[in-house]
Each structure stands twice: as structure tokens, then as C-alpha cells.
Structure 1
Amino acid sequence: MSPHPVRSTLLAALLVLSTGCGEKEVAPSLDLVTTACAGTPPLEGVTHLRFRVTGPGLDTPRERVSTVRWTAQDVPAIPAGSGRVLEVRAYAGVPDRGGQLRSLGRTAPFDVVEGRAASVRVFLRRLGEFAPVNQASSPDACALPRELRAGHTATPLPDGRVLFAGGYAPEADGRRPVSGTTEVFDPKEGTFTPGPDVGARAFHTASLLPGGKVLLTGGAEALDVLSLQRTARVVDVTSGETTTLEPKVARYQHAVAVDVEGHVLLVGGRSAEGRAVFMMEGFDAASGRFVDVPGEMHRVDATLAVLGDGRTILVAGGSDAVRPEADVLSFVFGGDSFSRLLPVPPRLRVPRVGATVAMLGRTEDGPRPLLIGGFDGVDPLNGALAVGASEVLESVIRVSDGPTLLPRSNACAVSLPDGRVVVLGGRGTDPGIPRATAWAELIIPAKDAQPSVLGLPLLPQPLVWHSCTALPDGSVLVVGGVDDSTGEPRAPREALVVMPPPRD
């Protein structure tokens, strides 16, 4: 019989241990949250726990195994240093004797100072299950976003929090009111708190700038009778202040990418009349101003990605409003604007519109942008089909085949801290009509080999125009979106979190 899930907070007294090499270790104070507000309790069927410490300079993990009724002495002491991670794995059966992993939780990386106790919190989550987010202060209470949102943005901040901005609320009568609010999710507490207003905008873009501020650009100010938001906002979440700017052209459903120095490239989008916008534009975070980019880019529904050098931005896919484009173009910021590099551009194997991109691979292995899904034509109502092939954007001169995935467009894809990619939802064609899907996949990179793909449990309901964000503990937060799979839009209110299976 499983133990009753409880909030386990064992505050270990400060304990400094000296090893044979003179290295000092500190026993942590662990707050282990084992209660769920909904779904399968994390300790259901669990008999044993494995506590595991990893981090830079630790050649092998520090591990201890206990029964589910653990004590402070069961948690390994942690050597002083940076980037330490304490992981808790929950098993049905003894871990090294065929026990099955059921739940998993870990801290964000944290620093341990010699002679000072580390106080950490771990949310134990059922493996692979989409469950509502719970609050640290009341673990049996679910944390709800303050508003319904679809077509919004979710930006992970340097301190681990997530900024949600704008979007629209799908209503039963077909109306789609657009929001100008923001809210901030704190994964340490499991709470949503209001942020500053940013002007009504949906299908806009959000770019994280050096220093942690967020640039929100464009979007639709209203959708029922389309009008565009002409402003951009720079949001400082810490102070709650915003700065209003005005781009040179209003657009929505555009694409952006930001390089390592805070230069943002804006491409494509649509005007208030529904026409394609071919004018490019840049933003320089250092000067806080928008800059002209020479020439036009005849692409809408394109996808932008930054190569591993942090400076080169690739423009892949999209269409000239008539047919998909295959050439992958490259840009860098130099002097006072972006300029196009002029190698012979590589070509996509499958030209596509509405694709998604995520970085695949560990930092030490050189992560590369993976282009996922899309439609193979401009209009799915006129024969365009969802694409199942993915492609790796290797460099400014090379594209290679990626793994075969479920065919869909406008999926949400997110890179995990360990280099894997989770792909959730999106639009398929059924038959010829684009509808939201509930598909979920995990892409696992392999050095010098083709990545593998693992199917995850389906989302609780089909979703498109939602957000998915990697949290510091390796889980994925899913917020908002719309389910139009039945022909009538339905919008989820709850925020979901899923913990993918570990790599080892």
C-alpha cells in the first residue's frame, strides 16, 4: 500500500564533512513536495527513493537510496561549488533490482558555499504525465493563470521565472478579445502574479534581451475587426517598468530572432489588410532603437533561428505569399544594421510554411537548430499538407535530414536543459482542414548519429497557439492555446506541467 502523499520538509542542521582529499561537503535542507493538486499522486505505488547530486567537477553522481519514508540522513552531502543539482527519483521496487521509475523531481542548478547550508525545494512529479501546476505553499491547490490566453508569448527569464504577455481569449460565441496584460510564473513557488500592462496584442513576438529585459513587438490589437498594435514595449519584470517604442512598420504573425548581443531581426508578418509584409527591420538593445535593414524579404510564415555562434541568424521556410521558399538565408549584425551573408544558400528538402524551430543537442556537443513540421504549401484549405520531416540547419551552407515526426504545423517546440527537444500540439490536416492536435514527442540527440524520437502521452486536449516553456528543473510548462478539433473553439484555463523521462 502506498504511503499517503505528504509535504516532506526535513531541515538538516548545518553539517560540514571533510573528505580524505580535504574537500568539504554540506548537508542540504530539502523541502520535498510530494502532493499533487490533481492527477496521479507522485508517491502512488512508490516504495523507494534515490537521492542524486550532480554538477560540474563531480565525475560520478553522489547517490543514496532509501525507502519512501526518508530522513535527512538519506540525502547526500553536497560538495561546495556552482551548478549543483539535487534530483529525487521515486521507484516502485528497489532501484537496482528491477524497480520501475514512477516519479521524478530536481532542483534548478544552485551554488553551494563552503560552510553554509543549502536550502532547496523539489517538486516530485509523475513521470510523463501532464498535470496541473501546484503551489508550494498549498501543494493540494492548483495554480491557475490569471487569464485565458492563446496566441500569446511566454519568455523564460534569467532567474527561472516566465513572463506571459498578451494573447486572445477564445469565447464560446466566437468573439476573440485581445489582452494587454502580462503575468509572471515563479516555478519555485508555483504561482502566477500580475505584471505590467503592455498594450493589447496577440500573435506578437517576444525577445529576451541581454540583462533580462523583454522586447514585445507588434501583434494584433483586435481580431474580431482586425487592427494592429503599432507599438513595441521593453519590459523590465524586476522593476515592473515598461518603455514604449514605435517600430517602422506595424505587423502581426511575424517572426523574430535575437543574437547573443541583443540585436533583433524582424521578418515577414501581415498588415491590417491581410497583405504580406516584406519589409525587414532590426532592433539594437544597446541603443534601444529600431534600425532599417536594407532590401526586402519576400517571406511570410517563415522561421528564424540563431546558429551556435550566437551571431548568425537563419531564415528558413515561409512563402512569398504564392509558393513555399526553399532557400535558407543568413544574416549578421555589423556596424549599425543587419546584412545578408552571400554564400550559396542551402535549400530545404521540403519547403514549408509555419514550421517551428528548437535547438537540439547538449551545449558541449554543439547544439543545432532543428526545423520541425509546417505545411508544404501556402493554404491547407487548398491542398497543402502537414509535414512530418524535420531538418537540421547545420550552417550557412548546409542542411541535413532530421528525424521523421508526426505531421503538423504551428507546433510548440522547446529545448530542454539536457539538449533534448519536446514537441507539443500544433495543427494537422483532417482531411484538408487544419485542426489542433494532442500529439507529444520527445526528440533525443545522439552524437554522430541520427536523433531518436520517443512518443509521450497525449496532451489532455488538442492545442494550437499555446506556449510551452522549459523550466529550470527540466520539466515543461504548458499554458493556454485553443482546441478547435471539434469545430468549436475551447480554451483550457489550467497550466500544465510535464516531467519527461531522464536521459539516463
Structure 2
Amino acid sequence: MSARSVRSTLLAALLALSAGCGEKEVTPSLDLISASCAGTPPLEGVTHLRFRVSGPGLDTPRERVSTVRWTPADVPAIPPGSARVLEVRAYAGAPDQGGQLRSLGRTAPFDVAQGQAASARVFLRRLGEFAPVNQAASPDTCAVPGETRAGHTATLLADGRVLFAGGYAPGRDGTRPVSGTTEVFDPVAGTFSPGPDVGARAFHTASPLPDGKVLLVGGAETLDQVSLQRTARVVDVAEGVASTLEPKVARYQHAAAVDVDGHVLLVGGRAADGSGAFTLEGFDAASGRFFNGMGELHRVDATLTVLEDGHTILVAGGSDALRLEAEVLSAGFDGDTFGWLLPVPPRLRVPRVGASVAMLGRAEDGPRPLLMGGFDGVDPLNGARAVGASEVLESPIRVSDGPALLPRSNACAVSLQDGRVVVVGGRGADSGIARATAWAELIIPAKDAQPSVLGLSLLPQPRVWHTCTALADGSVLVVGGVDDSTGEPRAPIEALVVMPPPRD
């Protein structure tokens, strides 16, 4: 009998005993995935495990420590309630005797009903290391996306899955065929599966809507000789279908943001000839229609974000294709269209194009958008340098200095549930040539103090035009991109996952 079968048999007996005694708490059935398909095995050098249960209503986490040869009895019982999290920490040495934390895994928050059995699956990840994603059914098998993608989008769905759409495949011969397919990643199973076709598009935008669907707008239909995708698609992953709409303006390399009510603002971008597409446009999820925006805004390579209130959209950075724009504009939906909110907006300390943005700070501390990186000029071939300074977009009327970061543009930045920000890859400028980087940083907020920055392990291969997604277990999924650091484009196919060190 296998070790897993023995654990399952013991657990069934424990659950039966608990039910007979009228216990209210539930001993979960834990499927701990402790193998890996590549990289450092999560249990290498590990001697002890700490099991921890946390969630609303629990004043202190429920914890138990065992050796690495754990049994179901080592897992704490879980009180009924919502948003329970079961976490497993792996140590070299006993944790209460100075043991070093090596690996970490946790569930997504889940609900436990009184008297009902609970099951949980945890992928144990080596702390801070980028490693290929593995499959739950066969942990020594890597989960590989069906296609190579760069310039694609990744959208986190309400159920924890991730929708990947479009993008192009960088060829060694210089060709860049554009994809019209989608894939869905399931973090519980560790698998990629095909989704509905959405028409060939790269450098488009993807906006999650309140009903769980995803709006894809624009993009380039071909890149070797640019032609534009004139359609938009509303993707319903649950039904496996995508409906077709037509926006008023065809564009690619634009920016989009969606407010809490499902109003999407589309800003900037480029036409097929490379000129700016300056007409503003909106989309209303309730009616399923595009509407005219606020005329024109002469910005390309701008960055959009939504403030904590869910209604105020900020437009930061960008250029009019000739010079940088420093004003941070704020907009809100007024019942018919979007309107500008302030006659005299604040200004960035360092104007930039191609910046990244993510919310920094815990929910209880008031998270704020952190603007990171970019180039300090329109063209890196004409002297523009990568920016290392970051700026906090405090409110529609105030901008403040953020921490110093590694200088890069077009990095992938994502907010973790605990308020920290992970920044991965991007483009640095070396001798006037912008090329992909392998840098990764973890930004840690501090209440009433300047955030701190921790360097993470380098990516196994530099990437730009990739995506990174914060999964519900606290890890970050990195997919696609292109590595042009050697002058010859290479396309990494493997999907990577990194588990940042915990805050405590």
C-alpha cells in the first residue's frame, strides 16, 4: 500500500471517530504535493513541517509541528467558517530551535461547513526560487502551455483560474506569427487547457468584468507588417464561448482600466502605421456597448490604474509620441461617459513611458498604486534611459516618492494578497539597446515609512512582454515573453511559479 493510501485510510478512521463524538471541528484530508518536475526539490534538506490553519475569527493560527514523515494526525483540525487557509512550512531543523524555512505552500481560502468533510491540496514550493509548474496528478511532470506567447494577456478569474489570450510567437528567423487562441490555467490541478478562439491579437488589453467575463479589446492581427484587429471579444470561460463586438477605434499597445461597476476606459495606443491613436473610448459591461470617451488624449505608452475607491481611474506617464507627459490625470464615470475630475492635476517627479503599476499595501492600511520603472525618453535608441525611481500615486491630488528599484521598463508587476508587490523581468537599456532582464524584486510596504525592497532569485531566462499573475495560494505565475538579451530572440515556453518568503 502506498504512503498516500495509508494516510487516506488513517484519515477516514479519524473522521469517523470525530463524527461519532460530535466534534464541530473538521480534520481535513490533505494532499501535500511535495515533489517537483524540475529545480530544487521542495523537501531537499528538510527535517520538519509546520502545519498552520488561519482565517477570520481565529485569534491565533492553529499550529502543529511534525517531522518530515507526517501523518494525518499532524494536521490541525479546522473550525467551521469562511476563508480558512491551510499552510505548510518546511524547515531544515526544528522551527522552534532556529530551523531555517526552506519551502512553503498553502491553499486558497476555502469555506468549512460544520460536520462536513474538508479536503485540501497544497503545492509545496521552494522559497523564492522560480521553478516550472508541475501537475498535481503527476508531480514530476511539468505543466507546459500549449503555445509560446509574448505580448499576450493573463487575467485572474473569480474562481482562481487564469485566462491567457493571444500574443505572438517570437521566431529565431525574425517572424512573429500572432495567435488567436486562449488557454486556461487551473492552479489546483496544475494544468493548462484550451479555451475559445478570440481572433488573432497581440498587445491588446484584457479587462475582468463584474460578471466574471473578460473583455479583450484591439491588438495587432499581424506584426511583421502591422495590421490591426478591429474586433473586441467578451470571453465567458465558464461557458467556453466568446462573443464578438466592434469598438469605435482600432488600436494596439494601448492601456485600459475597469472600475468596480464594469466601466472600461481605453486610452492611447498606436494605429497600424505607428502613429498615435488618441481617441478616448469607453465600454459599459451592463449594456455590452462601447461609448464615446472624452474626446482625445495625446498619450501613448501610458499606464492606467484604479484607486482603492473602485471608481477613480488614474492615467500616469506616457508621451504624445514626441515628448513625455508628466501630469497624472484622474477620471470617473459620470453616468453617460468618463469625465476628468481635476482641473489642475499633480505631476510625476520623473516623467516616463512604459511604466508598470501595482497596488502596494494591506487592505486595512489603504493600498495605493505604485508606479515603477519605464524609460525617461520616448526612444531608448535616442538616449532614453531605464528608470529606477518609483512613485506612489497617493490620490488624485498627490504623488510621492517610492523606493529605488532596478532600472527597467515594461516589467511585469503584481500585487500579493498581503499587500506586497512582486516585479519580474522587463527591459533594461545597455549602450542604448533595450533588452530583456532576469531581475525580480519584492517590495514590502511599511505603515508610515518608506517601503523596503528585497531581491528575489533571477529568472532562469530573461523575459519581456511576459505576464505574471498572483495566484490564490500566494505564489506568482510567470508565463511567456521573449528573451532578446543576446540579440537573438528566444521564446521560453515553460510556465514558472515562485513562492515569495512570508511576511512573518
- TM-score under structure 1 normalisation? 0.97
- 1:342 to partner: Cα distance: 2.0
What is the rounded CA distance, in whole Å, between the counterparts of 1:16 and 1:208 in structure 2? 45
Q: Is the contact between residue 8 and residue 33 of structure 1 (CA under 8 Å) also seen in structure 2?
A: no
What is the rounded CA distance, in whole Å, between the counterparts of 2:490 and 2:79 in structure 1? 50
Give the AA of the match of 1:108. A
Taking the TM superposition and a 5 Å limit, the aligned residue runs for 1:48-59 are 48-59=48-59
1:10 aligned residue: 7
- 1:362 to partner: Cα distance: 1.1
What is the rounded CA distance, in whole Å, between the counterparts of 2:129 and 2:399 in structure 1? 34
Residues 1:211 and 2:211 aligned together: yes
Residues 1:308 and 2:308 aligned together: yes
What is the rounded CA distance, in whole Å, between the counterparts of 2:337 and 2:497 in structure 1? 40
What is the rounded CA distance, in whole Å, between the counterparts of 2:266 and 2:3 in structure 1? 49
Q: CA offsets per residue over residues 402-424 of structure 1, 9 Å max, x none?
A: 11000000000001111110000
- 1:336 to partner: Cα distance: 1.5
2:253 aligned residue: 253
2:275 aligned residue: 275
Q: CA offsets per residue over residues 366-424 of structure 1, 9 Å max, x none?
A: 11110010000100100010000000101110011111000000000001111110000
Residues 1:169 and 2:169 aligned together: yes
Unaligned runs of 5+ in 2: none
Q: Is the contact between residue 156 and residue 162 of structure 1 (CA under 8 Å) also seen in structure 2?
A: yes
- 1:163 to partner: Cα distance: 0.2
1:296 aligned residue: 296
Q: CA RMSD in A?
A: 1.5
Residue aligned with 1:78, SS? coil
2:183 aligned residue: 183
Taking the TM superposition and a 5 Å limit, the aligned residue runs for 1:145-164 are 145-164=145-164
Taking the TM superposition and a 5 Å limit, the aligned residue runs for 1:412-491 are 412-491=412-491
- 1:162 to partner: Cα distance: 0.2
Residue aligned with 1:250, SS? coil
- 1:153 to partner: Cα distance: 0.2
Give the AA of the match of 2:427. R
What is the rounded CA distance, in whole Å, between the counterparts of 2:262 and 2:379 in structure 1? 34
Taking the TM superposition and a 5 Å limit, the aligned residue runs for 1:345-360 are 345-360=345-360
Give the AA of the match of 2:97. R
Give the AA of the match of 2:25. E
Residues 1:361 and 2:361 aligned together: yes
Give the AA of the match of 1:407. P
Change (3 A) 1:101 1:9: farther
Taking the TM superposition and a 5 Å limit, the aligned residue runs for 1:195-234 are 195-234=195-234
- TM-score under structure 2 normalisation? 0.97
What is the rounded CA distance, in whole Å, between the counterparts of 2:187 and 2:315 in structure 1? 33
Give the AA of the match of 2:318. G
Residues 1:28 and 2:25 aligned together: no
Q: Is the contact between residue 8 and residue 34 of structure 1 (CA under 8 Å) also seen in structure 2?
A: no
Residue aligned with 1:216, SS? strand
Q: CA offsets per residue over residues 158-198 of structure 1, 9 Å max, x none?
A: 00000000000001100000000000000000000000000
2:82 aligned residue: 82
Q: CA offsets per residue over residues 202-250 of structure 1, 9 Å max, x none?
A: 0000000001100000000000111000000000000011110000010
1:67 aligned residue: 67
- 1:16 to partner: Cα distance: 8.1
Q: CA offsets per residue over residues 33-71 of structure 1, 9 Å max, x none?
A: 111011111110000000001101111110000000000
Q: CA offsets per residue over residues 103-132 of structure 1, 9 Å max, x none?
A: 000000000000011101000011111111
Change (3 A) 1:206 1:243: same
Identity among equivalent pairs (%)? 81
1:396 aligned residue: 396
2:329 aligned residue: 329
Q: CA offsets per residue over residues 50-108 of structure 1, 9 Å max, x none?
A: 00011011111100000000001100000100000000000000001010000000000
Q: Is the contact between residue 143 and residue 190 of structure 1 (CA under 8 Å) also seen in structure 2?
A: yes
Q: Is the contact between residue 16 and residue 115 of structure 1 (CA under 8 Å) also seen in structure 2?
A: no
Q: CA offsets per residue over residues 328-367 of structure 1, 9 Å max, x none?
A: 0000011121111124211100000000000111111111
Change (3 A) 1:8 1:340: farther
What is the rounded CA distance, in whole Å, between the counterparts of 2:83 and 2:485 in structure 1? 43
- 1:294 to partner: Cα distance: 2.3
Q: Is the contact between residue 7 and residue 34 of structure 1 (CA under 8 Å) also seen in structure 2?
A: no
What is the rounded CA distance, in whole Å, between the counterparts of 1:491 and 1:321 in structure 2? 29
Change (3 A) 1:476 1:86: same
What is the rounded CA distance, in whole Å, between the counterparts of 1:353 and 1:132 in structure 2? 32
Change (3 A) 1:9 1:143: farther
What is the rounded CA distance, in whole Å, between the counterparts of 1:399 and 1:37 in structure 2? 45
Q: Is the contact between residue 48 and residue 65 of structure 1 (CA under 8 Å) also seen in structure 2?
A: yes
What is the rounded CA distance, in whole Å, between the counterparts of 1:432 and 1:7 in structure 2? 56
Q: Is the contact between residue 361 and residue 445 of structure 1 (CA under 8 Å) also seen in structure 2?
A: yes
Change (3 A) 1:236 1:74: same
Unaligned runs of 5+ in 1: none
What is the rounded CA distance, in whole Å, between the counterparts of 1:87 and 1:372 in structure 2? 31
What is the rounded CA distance, in whole Å, between the counterparts of 2:381 and 2:328 in structure 1? 26
Change (3 A) 1:195 1:267: same
What is the rounded CA distance, in whole Å, between the counterparts of 1:17 and 1:321 in structure 2? 68
What is the rounded CA distance, in whole Å, between the counterparts of 1:155 and 1:8 in structure 2? 37
Q: CA offsets per residue over residues 447-468 of structure 1, 9 Å max, x none?
A: 1111100000100011100000
Change (3 A) 1:353 1:158: same
1:263 aligned residue: 263
Change (3 A) 1:15 1:344: farther
What is the rounded CA distance, in whole Å, between the counterparts of 1:409 and 1:294 in structure 2? 28
Residue aligned with 2:128, SS? coil
Residue aligned with 1:381, SS? helix
Change (3 A) 1:370 1:109: same
What is the rounded CA distance, in whole Å, between the counterparts of 1:6 and 1:462 in structure 2? 40
Residue aligned with 1:32, SS? strand
Change (3 A) 1:200 1:78: same
What is the rounded CA distance, in whole Å, between the counterparts of 1:180 and 1:418 in structure 2? 35
Q: Is the contact between residue 7 and residue 33 of structure 1 (CA under 8 Å) also seen in structure 2?
A: no
What is the rounded CA distance, in whole Å, between the counterparts of 1:59 and 1:431 in structure 2? 55
